[in-house]
Chains A and B, each alone.
Chain A
């Protein structure tokens, strides 16, 4: 890292809050190598700060939506067992539906929620990366 640091134009005295304007393919970026450009942008500029905040907000919104959706689904299942006699007595291959739902059926739902979340969260992060690279 030491050689890279000495080449790094950002290591001078960059005024805090200054917005760095560089082409996405500029030499400055390539020189940074292992360091994260997106992180530097975030730390050094007001615009970066806003971008990070919007990333955090979209990730939080996503997490809340998926988790609340999952909990609502659980509550609907619980109510069906408790208050819908037809569901309570319904049998599939000799096994009552409530047992099948709670013993087996919940798990694919959990898996689906997790998969959807990972996909959407990765998409949010990619969108953030693209934004940073465009700057």
Chain B
């Protein structure tokens, strides 16, 4: 691939990101601006921003890569990523917006009336965020290596530097504009080449792809379905994705920027529409890639399918332009997810350790980005969609029970919540670590590499049982908090925002 194409795309995206960040700087002045954009972002803008933040390396590159490797089973990933928002809409969106808390630890403290519960939650939020940033940086490393030939560390470092600069100078208001722009960029970057690829493959342009369609290769081999994954793995993956989404810190912080609970629901509805459209496209890359780029499967670079396919099928200037577009889209994916995570982690770290000032927020932002950079540089990239899937499993086993029971179950106590989160975190964390050491034939492989199906129920069960055993620890002012979560806001005659 011509390195100039990759460089142009990456530099352009970075400059536009910085410009929008700078433009946003002019309207962010107070601490409240920095944290949650003063909660006045309209639903469509907020929905684009949520889409921009959520569609990470795993969605942009990982799904197509996984279809290359495991065929139709990979389609459960985009289904789970989207349906996770469905669960978020059903159980969390409106009440969490009404809770009036800035971050998940704020919610934990208000609901449980306990600083210990707050600290445990903060710790888990930071862990989840760091774990989630690492695959983004792996994706950036892969993209830079594939498209420009530079060493891997350049990609990861570049993403961290750009994100830190944007977050430090603009805070969340500019992040909202940046993320919204990046959603539409990602959608265009994936959709436009996909349309050309489809025209080419269906033969309607009259062009024959280089080398023609290989003899004996089919788009939809029947073996796909017959050698599929076990029912346990599919169910466990869906549990992780469905219940992991509603605990993701960068997703949740977005809901605080809605004006009220009803707007939070409308926003989620729009997000679901945007995601549904987006996830049609990675599938096309995966299916076509299996036929035309089979070499990527054997050399372990399946995640590069999206980056290489347009250039492989379409030659000349057109191919270069489309390649530049997908590279730009991929880079936007790393930037937006990482910056969303860095903002939410910085919010948590600065409130709990640095007193919640704007200066503290900036220091925390750097800490939030640099630690995962160290981890990313020291580890090798797994399949992107798979490693992000494990982060979802961890979130579903820790923060998800806290939110679901905290919002819907009056008897939850602080001790119960802490016990449940720690149990889920320990079980899921050790399963992931052990699972990575196992050989492919071990009978424990399924249970340990896809742990959500048993760690999530274990976390819920612990939380419920310990809460029932400690009824004296129930929050005394709970009734007030619960009605705040669930009672609809009145249409305001004075037009003043509350909370």
Contact = CB atoms under 8 A, between A and B. Distances in A.
Interface string A55-71: 11001101100110011
Q: What bracket does the count of chain A residues touching chain B fall in?
A: 35 or more
A2 B466 CA distance: 44
Contacts of A78: 231, 234
Contacts of B321: none
9 contacts: A55-B486, A71-B238, A81-B228, A89-B222, A98-B225, A99-B72, A117-B90, A118-B266, A118-B269
B464 interface: no
B75 A114 contact: no
A36 B231 CA distance: 49
Binding site of B, secondary structure by majority: helix, strand, loop or mixed? helix
A128 B486 CA distance: 11
Given A98-B225, A114-B86, A115-B269, A38 B496 contact: no
B383 interface: no
Contacts of A76: none
Given A36-B490, A128-B487, 16 more contacts: A36-B487, A43-B480, A48-B483, A52-B482, A55-B486, A55-B487, A56-B482, A56-B486, A78-B231, A98-B225, A99-B287, A102-B75, A104-B280, A110-B86, A115-B269, A126-B488
Most chain B beta-carbon neighbours within 10 Å: one of A52, A89, A115, A122: A52
A39 B498 CA distance: 12
Contacts of B276: 107-108, 110-111
Interface string B484-499: 1011111011101010
Contacts of B262: 122, 125
B83 A70 contact: yes
Nearest to B92: A63
B178 to A, nearest CB: 26
Most chain B beta-carbon neighbours within 10 Å: one of A36, A43, A59, A107: A107
A121 B490 contact: no
B50 interface: no
A22 to B, nearest CB: 15
Most chain A beta-carbon neighbours within 10 Å: one of B89, B94, B280, B487: B487
A12 interface: no
Contacts of A38: 487-488, 490
A8 B279 CA distance: 53
A96 B222 CA distance: 9
Contacts of A55: 486-487
A74 interface: yes
